[in-house]
Amino acid sequence: MTTFIRGATLLAMGGGTGAEPFTGDLLIEGDRIAAIGPSLPVPEGATIIEGAGKLVMPGLVNAHLHSNEALFKGRYDNMPLEVWMLYAYPIRAAKALPPRLVYLRSMLVAMESLRTGVTCITDDLYESPRSELELMGAAIDAYDDVGIRATVSAHVVNRNFLDTIPFTRDYVPAHLQEEIDAIQPVTTPDYLAFVREAHARFHGRSGRIRTMLAPSAPQRCTPELMLAANELAKEWNAPFHTHIVETKVQSVTGPEFYGKSLVAYMDDLGLLNPWTTIAHSIWVSDSDIERMGRAGVSVCHNAISNQKLGAGSAPVRKLLTAGVNVGLGSDGICSNDTPRIFDVMKAAALMHKVNNPDWSRWLNASEVLHAATLGGARTALLQEETGSLEVGKKADLLILDAETASFTPLNDIRNHLVYCENGSSIEKVFVNGEMVVENGRLTRVDEKALLAELRALMPEFLEYTKGVEAANGELEPAFTKVVQRCNAMDVGMTRWASDA
Ligand SMILES: [Zn+2]
């Protein structure tokens, strides 16, 4: 299959064609970009797409997402992470969902992602009460069927829940402590057997599906498990994807548990590497940032989720200056509450401007677009495959109508993409050389029918959810006290109001 896009405005975001948009052609052969440049010869038999009035750019990358939250979209508001998690990541009364519901849940996320220009996702998939291969397979089937590029984990926690957050035992009632203490965390050998089997089953499927290693966080996993996962990540050239210091509570956690910051703890264990990707990294000190830059890690900046949960503002300018690669993530679909990266781009471009009066340090549209494309690809170790329009790379790209209201009058394409456009100008989306969205509609699946099927399953799910919420709500008074206590502690910085 050969496709020739003729005379479009091309925003390549990398490679030999430079950083500026230009008028030219792009040739797709099979799953890859075969040529890009001005006035290319038209190959015999190619399907021609006329590019006049169109903008062609790389598909967006969602560097951090939890599809498992998608059924809670729009359900919760005004809770900080540690309280919100009681409901979104229930520890009590949770049971495994039917595989078809997991399939539809992932499909819901993937369909909206593709239609709004996200061609590549990193899904850090968590199932309550535990990961199961069949359920991970159901999510992957959805990504395979709809045609998106996906790196998928089985997110793992292997510590007693009460020992992942400081001071819980001062406030959680004894009978609830006893109940939670009886839950057996997964062992490191069982986890390793699981990820090896998942890798064997799913990795490489359709040239688009990959697996990764995702120990939840340094306070939620044992060092043995994290070290073993990190070794495997290196061996498989897969991301070692984790969460570090999203909240003030977590910034207190490092000193309380390990006598040092969580970043220093990870670094001292040898867990900060070029294949390490850290979600959030909000409450990082200058010395943490220096360690991260030296190690060459990536960070996923979740600009909307961090605001929704009141987590704080990641010091993105400092991270970039230190040499840390930064991608953009939606984070979970309950803390965002959508997988749309156009929204995250705008939020990321705006939020840092109110944190620092020195406007020379504000993120600009080019930096934000880089984070949403090539920077995001790097967080998934896919920078050689996707994230820019370059010869030899996979043809993951968007064709936008550049004559919509979002682009009229046209002043600066990058500013329009970040501040004016919301994905509604997208006409076509290609992933792996295949057109998966045409005229705003998905080509591989029947979106309306799938949404209707999901809606039909919701009454039963909501009935179940109400029971789970009631059981976990019993923990809320204790967790409220924990958060209030941590928030009152001095950790030598704030990420709520200043210091971008
Ligand atoms: Zn996350």
Mutual orientation of helices 81-88 and 447-473 as an angle, nearest 10°? 110
Residue 145 structural domain: 58-394
How far away, in angstroms, is 331 Cα from ligand 1 center?
5
Give the pLDDT score at 17.
78
How far away, in angstroms, is 279 Cα from ligand 1 center?
6
How far away, in angstroms, is 150 Cα from ligand 1 center?
16
The CATH number that applies at residue 163 is 3.20.20.140
User: At 500, is the pLDDT very low, low, confident or very high (cuts 50, 70, 90)?
Assistant: very low
Residue 400 has pLDDT above 70, yes or no: yes
How far away, in angstroms, is 66 Cα from ligand 1 center?
6
- Find the angle CA(296)-CA(301)-CA(307) to the nearest 5 degrees: 150
Residue 498 has pLDDT above 80, yes or no: no
Give the mean model confidence (pLDDT) for residues 189-218. Answer: 98
- Distance between CA atoms of residues 396 and 119, nearest Å: 6
Question: Which amino acid, one-letter code, is at 403?
Answer: E
Whole-number average pLDDT of the chain: 97
Residue 163 contacts residue 203 (beta carbons within 8 Å): no
Give the pLDDT score at 15.
82
Q: Total structural domains in the chain?
A: 1
Give the pLDDT score at 302.
98
How far away, in angstroms, is 244 Cα from ligand 1 center?
9
Compute the chain's Rg from CA coordinates.
Answer: 22
Whole-Å CA distances, 132 to 85, 127, 139, 142: 20, 8, 11, 16
How far away, in angstroms, is 10 Cα from ligand 1 center?
33
Give the pLDDT score at 1.
86
How far away, in angstroms, is 126 Cα from ligand 1 center?
10
| Pairing between β-strand 2-10 and β-strand 47-50 as defined by DSSP bridges | parallel
How far away, in angstroms, is 163 Cα from ligand 1 center?
19
Token reading at 385: 């495959």
* pLDDT tens, position by position, 447-483: 999 999 999 999 999 999 999 999 999 999 999 999 9
- Find the angle CA(284)-CA(290)-CA(291) to the nearest 5 degrees: 85
How far away, in angstroms, is 296 Cα from ligand 1 center?
20
Instruction: Please check whether residue 134 lies inside any domain of the structure.
Output: yes
Instruction: Please check whether residue 489 lies inside any domain of the structure.
Output: no
Give the mean model confidence (pLDDT) for residues 251-256. Answer: 97
Give the pLDDT score at 18.
75
Whole-number percent of the chain with pLDDT over 70: 99
* pLDDT tens, position by position, 100-112: 999 999 999 999 9
How far away, in angstroms, is 330 Cα from ligand 1 center?
9
- Distance between CA atoms of residues 354 and 362, nearest Å: 9
Of 1, 65, 86, 12, nearest to 388 (Cα)?
Answer: 12
Instruction: Please check whether residue 424 lies inside any domain of the structure.
Output: no
Token reading at 52: 């006049």
Give the pLDDT score at 494.
84
Whole-number percent of the chain with pLDDT over 90: 95
Instruction: Please check whether residue 476 lies inside any domain of the structure.
Output: no
Whole-Å CA distances, 451 to 72, 112, 146, 429: 15, 11, 13, 20
How far away, in angstroms, is 412 Cα from ligand 1 center?
33
Residue 145 contacts residue 137 (beta carbons within 8 Å): no
Instruction: Please check whether residue 359 lies inside any domain of the structure.
Output: yes
Residue 194 contacts residue 125 (beta carbons within 8 Å): no
Instruction: Please check whether residue 456 lies inside any domain of the structure.
Output: no
Give the pLDDT score at 72.
97
| Pairing between β-strand 397-401 and β-strand 54-58 as defined by DSSP bridges | antiparallel
Residue 324 contacts residue 318 (beta carbons within 8 Å): no
How far away, in angstroms, is 125 Cα from ligand 1 center?
9
Give the mean model confidence (pLDDT) for residues 308-322. Answer: 97
Instruction: Choose the weakest-confidence range: 8-17, 76-85, 165-174.
Output: 8-17
Instruction: Please check whether residue 415 lies inside any domain of the structure.
Output: no
How far away, in angstroms, is 305 Cα from ligand 1 center?
9
Cα-to-chain-centroid distance, residue 422: 18
Token reading at 238: 């897969």
Give the pLDDT score at 497.
63
Residue 297 has pLDDT above 70, yes or no: yes
- Distance between CA atoms of residues 327 and 277, nearest Å: 10
Instruction: Please identify which residue in the block is written with the tokens 């799953």.
Output: 31
Residue 244 has pLDDT above 80, yes or no: yes
How far away, in angstroms, is 68 Cα from ligand 1 center?
11
Give the mean model confidence (pLDDT) for residues 280-288. Answer: 97
